[in-house]
Amino acid sequence: MEDDESSLRQALARAERSHGPDHPEVADHLHRLGAWLGSANRYSEAEPLFRRALAIDERSHGPDHPHVASSLNNLAESLRLTGRSEEAEPLFRRALAIWETHLGPEHPHVALTLNNLLALLVGQKRYQEAEPMTRRQVNILLGSTHSTGREHPDLSKCIANYALLLQYLGYSAAQVRARLDELGRPFGLGLDPAGLIRRLAVPTGAPRTGASRNPSPARPVSPDAEEAFRRGESCRAREQWGPALDHYSVAIQRDPQFAEAYFRRGNIKLRTGGHDEAIADYIHAVCLDPDNAAYRNNRGRAFLEAKQPRQAIADCDAALRIDPRFAVAHFNRGLARAALGDHTGALADFARCLELEPDNPTYRNQLETAQRQSS
């Protein structure tokens, strides 16, 4: 941890010497150091760094630039976490307005920008104000899931948070389910208070676009296996990894052809460091559903974690043949190419990631890193 902080401070000092104290690149380094301090719960130390970064971004880009929105959000969160919610709230709202202007009100990044503001409102027990925002957040991520064919990674947690908020407002269990049904039905999805998501029959008139990243199963799943799978999903939504693995394993025992159960189990194994076991599960999933781009991409990521970049590239290639706009597959392939020393190919992949998702900070940072390494 100390080495990480030291290297971040050294990088900041180098940027200041090279570019001067008010250069936009200095602001980037201030954000990185502030984020590290925040991850170590050192919010009071992070705050002045975020204030300085905000001032640089406003001078460099103007008051309504996306970089300013990111700075506002970081500063506001450090204020919220040190008990100064009254100072934080207008900064959160200003950041949200900037993102809405630049990306449109239905962009997934807008939904995620709502997170910290919602945490502030709920923390102050302002549940009536939080309810329409939380409902909007879920609705945006449902739209993203429907349009891409791939479940947004934050959707399940947002659904569970919305259900909990409705309970705080005094809704009965039946009323909570009715509200969730209203939200999910237009997208052909059934929602559960625990954050579970089930695909319903495709609504009449719903658009049908190319190959889905997560196509619906072509075969019915046994009811016993489906029940175990739902229990696994409930545990996954609460980040209870061990019980989730157990439930997915039961689902597979009850229905050995249940591709999605292998996939979900593999995801948890990958997340918890078991890349070899994850690869084995992804192999089963791919064999059962070879046209699923997400299965191939995640197996590629597991191969990358296992230091097998050539196999990772092969899987990402296959995922991109199924879905050429799959940004994460480009990202993973770029990492694998970089591991093999193919910096030109890696740069092309990272650039394509940013083209597909221009406001993704991970993609932007990786592209900048690759550009520095190749120069």
DSSP string, 261-321: HHHHHHHHHHHTT-HHHHHHHHHHHHHH-TT-HHHHHHHHHHHHHTT-HHHHHHHHHHHHH
User: 32: Cβ–Cβ under 8 A, 6 or more apart, which residues?
Assistant: 8, 11
Q: What is the DSSP string of 213-261?
A: SSPPPSSPPPHHHHHHHHHHHHHHHTT-HHHHHHHHHHHHHH-TT-HHH
Residue 318 falls within a domain, yes or no? yes
How many domains does one find in the chain?
1
pLDDT at 185: 83
pLDDT at 199: 62
User: 338: Cβ–Cβ under 8 A, 6 or more apart, which residues?
Assistant: 346, 370, 373
pLDDT at 188: 78
- The rounded distance, in Å, linking the Cα atoms of 344 and 62 is 33
pLDDT at 357: 84
| Region of residue 41 (left: phi > 0; alpha: psi -120 to 50; beta: else) | left
Residue 317 falls within a domain, yes or no? yes
User: 195: Cβ–Cβ under 8 A, 6 or more apart, which residues?
Assistant: 155, 156, 157, 158, 159, 160, 163, 233, 234, 237, 238
Residue 261 falls within a domain, yes or no? no
Read off φ and ψ for residue 126, nearest 5 degrees. -95, 65
The rounded average pLDDT for each run of 10 residues, N- to C-terminus, in the chain (375 residues) is 74 90 88 85 90 92 88 91 92 91 83 87 92 92 78 84 92 90 84 72 35 48 84 85 92 89 92 89 88 90 92 92 90 93 91 85 84 76
CATH code where residue 307 lies: 1.25.40.10
Residue 358 structural domain: 290-375
Residue 339 falls within a domain, yes or no? yes
Residue 218 falls within a domain, yes or no? no
Residue 256 falls within a domain, yes or no? no
- The rounded distance, in Å, linking the Cα atoms of 285 and 259 is 5
pLDDT at 219: 57
pLDDT at 137: 93
Residue 84 falls within a domain, yes or no? no
